[in-house]
Chains A and B, each alone.
Chain A
């Protein structure tokens, strides 16, 4: 039985449809990702799940609760980490945790949370004196302080340096290990690939696909990509007429050839016949990014 069920969710702002019929179901104990470019409707979708926005259509159930009908009960069982939400500047970490844990019926032990998030040295530090990563971790602590069944984390690692990002990923895994279902919003492929058990790919307010990262990659698995610098100018038609080749693109001094099957052998054969040497040749595996391109016809980077 799904712990989060979103069915045909629609949300409009004026004439603009931000979310146009999104459906997905999250199983208890999984890390479920919502992946898509900026402006795809990811945040609007989770804000409806959190009960912060009233949907214009469709239905949402979180732990069997309708977020609009029973906000009180929802907030006891769903913890939310919002994008860009601050705290009073001069409140210390200890004061924040004491205050926010007092809001809940059965709060988690906030001291253990603070230890898990490695903020125990910062208890007496005011919010304004915390680093970006520390603020982010405090924000996670607040999302978990009510001991929720579901945690919604929105663009958690945006603005963090690579090390802090990797640390945060470990943290999210440890949250899941505590038995909390995690709904993770992200526009980082690498993050989704590394963390999510399953994910919904969202583009322009619609779900393009729901699957595991491996499953999504498998839908376009056949594709390979070759990158190389040709030693001499080369007529693209020589390559495009090959049955294995699906696309040829120029990227600076490099050629990028996509294809299926034994495309590597086919291309190198043509190059050899024309006395062209492929310098810096690299063969790239399919990624989630490729899956996104295959499913939407655009790259994440282009759109975001």
Chain B
């Protein structure tokens, strides 16, 4: 435990030495929400989306976008770089297993992601009076499911990509469709039926809707829970199959 803690602390320290990563993972999502909140019509109740305001829809969208940034744009590159540079191999010559290093990177990703989500919720609540989740326990559970699905996807990319550069490229290419279906450009409520149907089966589409449902105090749809679990299982199994230490 001590070693895992030390490794996680070191990884986190390294993260904070990358200003670009810090900005995109921690600051950018909240900033985006602030910008959207400054668009006057987004702060007006809209009968087309059940009397909610657009800014209400964007809080969970931005939270899942932060998850996407972390798991697609940061994590795969980190994984692949540690393999490419032989850092995992060096670790294998010490009493600490290289898996501890991967565990530390995942622990860091979870911590950063939760931190980012809390920041977004605070900005949404304090800045734009967005309602806090009605069912906090369910909200948290849905958030964890969404995070798990995305982190395993990131791990899979990191396992498949031969180099850190390759991992970064695959991650950024995947990022755009994934956040599109989360509703970043067009919230799910305003998507045509076909797009919304596709979105139901993407990890962030399912994630956004589940967070939205939990915020409103409803139970999430079984389909969305199944989709997030499905992505976790499939990506996790493939990552385990293709993972290489060197």
CB contact between B86 and one of A82, A103, A105 (< 8 Å): that residue: A82
B94 pairs with A146, CB closer than 8 A: yes
A87 at the interface (CB under 8 A from B): yes
B172 at the interface (CB under 8 A from A): no
Nearest A residue to B93 by beta-carbon distance? A80
B218 at the interface (CB under 8 A from A): no
Docked CA distance A86–B10 (Å) = 16
Residue numbers in B under 8 Å from A52 (CB-CB) = 89, 92-93
Docked CA distance A80–B93 (Å) = 6
Nearest A residue to B82 by beta-carbon distance? A88
Q: Encode B118-133 as 1/0 by CB contact (under 8 A) with A.
A: 0000000000000000
B222 at the interface (CB under 8 A from A): no
Docked CA distance A143–B92 (Å) = 12
Q: For residues 83 through 97 of chain B, which have their beta carbon under 8 Å from a beta carbon of chain A? A: 85-87, 89-90, 92-96
Q: Encode A79-93 as 1/0 by CB contact (under 8 A) with B.
A: 110101111101100
Contact A85 to B6, CB < 8 A, known contacts A90-B14, A103-B96: no
B93 pairs with A82, CB closer than 8 A: yes
Q: For residues 25 through 72 of chain A, which have their beta carbon under 8 Å from a beta carbon of chain B? A: 50, 52, 72
Residue numbers in B under 8 Å from A100 (CB-CB) = 94
Q: For residues 32 through 65 of chain B, which have their beta carbon under 8 Å from a beta carbon of chain A? A: none
Q: Encode A93-111 as 1/0 by CB contact (under 8 A) with B.
A: 0010001101111000000
A103 pairs with B87, CB closer than 8 A: no
Docked CA distance A57–B74 (Å) = 41
State the Cβ distance, A301 to closest chain B Cβ, in Å. 28
Residue numbers in A under 8 Å from B87 (CB-CB) = 85-88
Nearest B residue to A142 by beta-carbon distance? B90
Residue numbers in B under 8 Å from A104 (CB-CB) = 94-95
Contact A91 to B10, CB < 8 A, known contacts A79-B93, A102-B3, A142-B90: yes
A91 pairs with B14, CB closer than 8 A: yes
B18 at the interface (CB under 8 A from A): yes
B18 pairs with A90, CB closer than 8 A: yes
Docked CA distance A50–B246 (Å) = 15
State the Cβ distance, B41 to closest chain A Cβ, in Å. 44
CB contact between B90 and one of A72, A82, A90, A95 (< 8 Å): that residue: A82
B86 pairs with A86, CB closer than 8 A: yes
Most buried by A among B2, B7, B93: B93
Give me the interface of B with A, judged by CB distance under 8 Å: 2-3, 6-7, 10, 13-14, 17-18, 82, 85-87, 89-90, 92-96
Q: List 26 A-B contacts (CB under 8 A).
A: A50-B93, A52-B92, A72-B95, A75-B93, A75-B95, A76-B95, A80-B93, A82-B86, A85-B87, A86-B87, A87-B87, A87-B90, A88-B14, A90-B17, A91-B10, A95-B13, A99-B7, A102-B2, A102-B3, A102-B6, A103-B95, A103-B96, A104-B94, A104-B95, A105-B95, A146-B94
8 additional A-B residue pairs with CB within 8 Å, beyond A82-B89, A95-B10:
A75-B93, A79-B93, A85-B86, A87-B87, A95-B13, A102-B3, A102-B6, A103-B94
